[in-house]
Amino acid sequence: MANEGSKTGPLPNEGTLIAEAKSDFRHFEPLYDHYYEQIFRFVYRRANDEAMAADLVSQVFFKALGGLKNYKYTGIPFGAWLHRIASNEVKKYYRSKGTKTMFSLEEGQVKELIAIEDEEEKEYQLNQLVAFLAELEEEELLVVELRFFEDKGFKEIAYILGMRESAVKMRTYRTLDKLRELFKLRIND
């Protein structure tokens, strides 16, 4: 993947960089360098095709650069704005194809969520989780992804999805309850 050195979270001088980039687009590069990998991973999980993900990410940053003059800092990191654009681009792509948005998991991240020592049981649980995630509605899956795989707070998720924070919390808890119930039903079968 490109830009392997990028980090998560906002840049320490992000506000200054944004202001400079608004007046001269050449100052957009540090923001691009910092957020590229994060946005690429997010899109790639939805595309599961490196070339398609790269195309979509280029659209994300093109739109971000074009809309930068209208961007207003509201206490939410710039990366959340980029995630919002990315989410919309992915939805638009799949809508144009007439297919359902896909989601692929990075095995390492999921294994961290499953705290089981027995490797065979862990593998079984991993497969079950993947199957259960596939049964979620698109918005439920997106909330889980942003919260647990992108490590976003509720306020950021609310901004990305254009929802109230309380609605995001409720959606997260209901989705987790739904996953717990699926696990109970399938394991007891």
At 141, the amino acid letter reads L
Closest by CA position to 36, among listed 67, 6, 66: 6
**What is the value of pTM for the model shown?**
0.77
Beta strands in the chain (DSSP E): none
Matching residue, tokens 């359902």: 100
Structure confidence at residue 89 (pLDDT): 93
Q: Give the 3-state DSSP-derived string for 51-62, with helices as H, strands as E and coil as C.
A: HHHHHHHHHHHH
Is the predicted pLDDT of residue 107 greater than 70, yes or no? no
Please provide the average confidence, as pLDDT, over all residues in the chain: 82
The answer to whether residues 54 and 89 touch, using CB atoms and an 8 Å cutoff, is no
Which residue segments constitute the domains of the chain, with CATH numbers given? Answer: 1-103 (1.10.1740.10), 105-189 (1.10.10.10)
Helices (H), 98-137: 107-113, 119-135
Structure confidence at residue 122 (pLDDT): 66
